């Protein structure tokens, strides 16, 4: 029941989320290139989402099995990305081969 719930410091979580959002916007303009900026932004987003789930949604105070139910979609989404990625690289590779061939006849 209600009384059994521990209440985290919601305002601290709020300020943390606000500061992390400002940091994210700052990261966009960092000159480290796509890979590093992308990794930083993804890490920050996952961190912020985890804060919301753990404290606002009280997942930290729930049973482990409920945590497993909650984490399953993240695992599925990550798997999906890895399933799509080889296809993405295949198309890139194919396009790279096609481009010079298409450009050659135009020079004649």
Partner 1 sequence: MSQAAASHAAAHGVEPAESPLTPESWGKLGMWIFLAGDAVGFGTLLAAYGGMRATSADWPVPYEVLGINLTAAMTFLLICSSVTMVKALEWLGRGDRGKCKTFLLLTALGGAIFVGLQAYEWTHLIHRGLHIDGNPWGAALFGTTFFLITGFHGMHVTGGVIYLLAVTGVVARRPQAAASYNVVEIVGLYWHFVDLVWIMVFTFMYLL
Question: Is the distance from CB of 55 to CB of 13 less than 8 angstroms?
Answer: yes
DSSP structural state of residue 2 = G
Give whichever of 48 and 108 is closer to partner 1, judged by the CB atom.
48
Among 30, 36, 45, 98, binds partner 1 (CB under 8 A): 45
DSSP structural state of residue 62 = S
DSSP structural state of residue 74 = H
Among 52, 60, 61, 98, binds partner 1 (CB under 8 A): 52
By the rule CB under 8 A, 36 interacts with partner 1: no
Burial 5-25 (b: 16+ CB within 10 A, else e): eeeeeeeebeeebeeeeeebe
Quick check: helix, strand or coil at residue 108? coil
Distance in Å, CB of 24 to partner 1, minimum: 6
- The residue ranges that bind partner 1 (CB under 8 A) are 1-3, 5, 7, 10-11, 14, 17-18, 21, 24-25, 27-28, 37-38, 41-42, 44-45, 48-49, 52-53, 56-57, 62-63, 65-66, 69-70, 72-74, 76-77, 80-81, 84-85, 87-88, 91-92, 95
């Amino acid at each position: 029941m209600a009384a059994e719930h521990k209440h985290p410091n919601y305002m601290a979580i709020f300020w943390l989320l606000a500061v992390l959002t400002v940091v994210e916007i700052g990261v966009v303009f960092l000159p480290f290139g796509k890979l590093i900026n992308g990794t930083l932004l993804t890490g920050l987003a996952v961190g912020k989402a985890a804060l919301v789930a753990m404290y606002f949604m009280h997942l930290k105070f729930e049973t482990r099995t409920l945590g497993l139910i909650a984490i399953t979609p993240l695992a599925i989404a990550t798997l999906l990305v890895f399933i799509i990625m080889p296809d993405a690289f295949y198309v890139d590779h194919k396009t790279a081969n096609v481009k010079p061939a298409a450009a050659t006849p135009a020079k004649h």
